[in-house]
Amino acid sequence: MSLLIKNIKELLQVRESHISVVKGKDMRVLPSIKNAYLLIEHDTIVDYGSMDDIQNLEADKIIDASGKIVLPTWCDSHTHIVYAGNREQEFVDRINGLSYEDIANRGGGILNSAEKLQNTTEEDLYQQSAKRLKNVIKLGTGAIEIKSGYGLTLEAELKMLRVIKRLKKEFPVKVRATLLAAHAVPKAYKNNKTAFVDLVVNKMIPEVANEKLANYIDVFCEKGYFDLEDTERILKTGREHGLIPKIHVNQFNAFGGVGMGVKYQALSVDHLEQMDQEDIEVLKNSDTMPVALPSCSYFLSIPYTPGRQLIDAGLPLALATDYNPGSTPSGNMNFVVSTACIKMKMTPEEAINAATINGAYAMGISNMYGSITKGKKANLIITKEIPSYAFMPYAFGENHIEQVIINGLIY
Ligand SMILES: N=CN[C@@H](CCC(=O)O)C(=O)O
Ligand SMILES: [Zn+2]
């Protein structure tokens, strides 16, 4: 099966295969070909170029993309889409004056979702999660990381990870799984957090690694959740079991979590709404990707990650949704890209780089996803007819996507 897309107004993010990440000033550059064609065979990009140079290419199917822009699908490197029910009452409580912290301290927040999930069957959890995944693919996401973390018991965490495994099997998009057992201290361990970390380290990590249910290890390193010592124990044990760290840090407080992530060669450090100079310096000497989650800042009315400062310091940056029931009930990467431009002062080129190639890097898959490159998976967004690519983040809140192609097939 072959597919030829021709008369593409502009083909974005065209990269040589050795580019796996873009940093600093290079993020301002988004290589493209105007008036382009793209040829797909089966699930792979095999050729592309200017329409002026098109040979007599044969294909089983031809799409005329006149007036439309084609780009790689979004790579969403941070989500929690496997959850049960919703938390709109907490949303209303926050409108009425409670903070995210107040709600968590009253036993709401993550513990509320954990209770719901523990009382939901695996089949129901799968159906709820599959619906969310289907929706975000239609919004242009072609690769996604999904975390556990609403289980908080071995049994419920395994249930979440089995659901992620099933999503991976049933859907054509690339799925990466993360064990986030240390997402909150469960009620039963309220006065004995160390015993819960013991459980994570001695039972949950070995069992999950043994069953090969996760690629990554995560921890919510934050005041009132898990401190540096807990984080270190969890990352160290995760690494020993072959799980690569990707952690929640600096959402509300900066106290060295970024350095701890870098010490254990985290693939990414995510959130970073609160950053100090030391965090920036430590990232400069690492291969760790900083990940910003602007929809979370928007929804909770907390500061945005200082993306401008990070990029101006020569660092790379990735953008992800953080889709979850508490802080970001949205998996729309188009909104993330717009919000990064509007609120974080990122240029459209920087935001698109952050949401494609750098997002792929933050999932360890940039060899196969995140750019238009021969040999990579044919995961593409075809826009509606729009004046330019900057129009996508500019005209925010509108759906500019006409078609999504996953593994060479129209989704
Ligand atoms: N900050 C920690 N975890 C999630 C939110 C969890 C929740 O409120 O359910 C996040 O990344 O924002
Ligand atoms: Zn998160």
Ligand 1 in contact with 326 (CB < 6 A)? yes
Mean pLDDT of 57-61: 91
Ligand 1 in contact with 325 (CB < 6 A)? yes
Q: Alpha-carbon distance 406 to 378, whole Å?
A: 6
Same domain, 124 and 203: yes
Mean pLDDT of 280-285: 96
pLDDT band at 187 (very low <50, low <70, confident <90, very high): very high
Report whether 46 contacts 71 (CB < 8 A): no
Both structure tokens of 236: 């160290």
Q: Which residues fall within 8 angstroms of residue 211, CB to CB, at 6 or more apart? A: 158, 161
- The pLDDT tens digits for 347-406 are 999 999 999 999 999 999 999 999 999 999 999 999 999 999 999 999 999 999 999 999
Same domain, 236 and 343: yes
Task: Compute the distance from residue 328 Cα to the ligand 2 centre, in Å.
Answer: 9
Same domain, 164 and 313: yes
Bridge-based pairing of strands 32-41 and 2-12 is: antiparallel
Same domain, 321 and 403: no
Q: Give me the pLDDT at residue 278, please.
A: 97
Query: Which residues form the domain of 250?
Result: 75-361
Task: Compute the distance from residue 357 Cα to the ligand 1 centre, in Å.
Answer: 24
Q: What is the CATH number of the domain that holds 352?
A: 3.20.20.140
Q: Give me the pLDDT at residue 89, please.
A: 94
Q: Considering the chain, what percentage of its residues have pLDDT values greater than 90?
A: 97
Q: What is the CATH number of the domain that holds 41?
A: 2.30.40.10
pLDDT at 107 over 90: no
Tell me, yes or no, if the pTM score tops 0.95.
yes
Q: Alpha-carbon distance 297 to 343, whole Å?
A: 10
Helix (H, G, I), strand (E, B) or coil at 404: strand
Same domain, 304 and 231: yes
- Which spans in 139-253 are helix H? 154-170, 193-199, 205-210, 228-240
Helix (H, G, I), strand (E, B) or coil at 221: strand
Q: What is the CA radius of gyration of the chain?
A: 21
Looking at the 3D structure of the chain, how many domains does it have?
Answer: 2
Same domain, 68 and 108: no
Same domain, 12 and 155: no
Mean pLDDT of 70-93: 97
DSSP state of 242: T
Count of H-run helices and E-run strands, the chain: 16, 16
Mean pLDDT of 311-323: 98
Both structure tokens of 342: 């509007």
**Nearest-ligand number for the alpha carbon of 149:** 1
**ipTM confidence:** 0.97
Same domain, 297 and 399: no
Mean pLDDT of 76-90: 97
Ligand 1 in contact with 157 (CB < 6 A)? no
Q: Give me the pLDDT at residue 25, please.
A: 98
Same domain, 285 and 388: no
Residue 46: what are its φ and ψ, rounded to 5°? -110, -20
Same domain, 265 and 132: yes
Same domain, 127 and 100: yes
Report whether 138 contacts 404 (CB < 8 A): yes
Q: DSSP per residue over 311-335, as a string?
A: HHTT-B-EE----BTTTB----HHH
Binding residue positions for Zn(2+):
78, 80, 248, 322
Same domain, 30 and 92: no
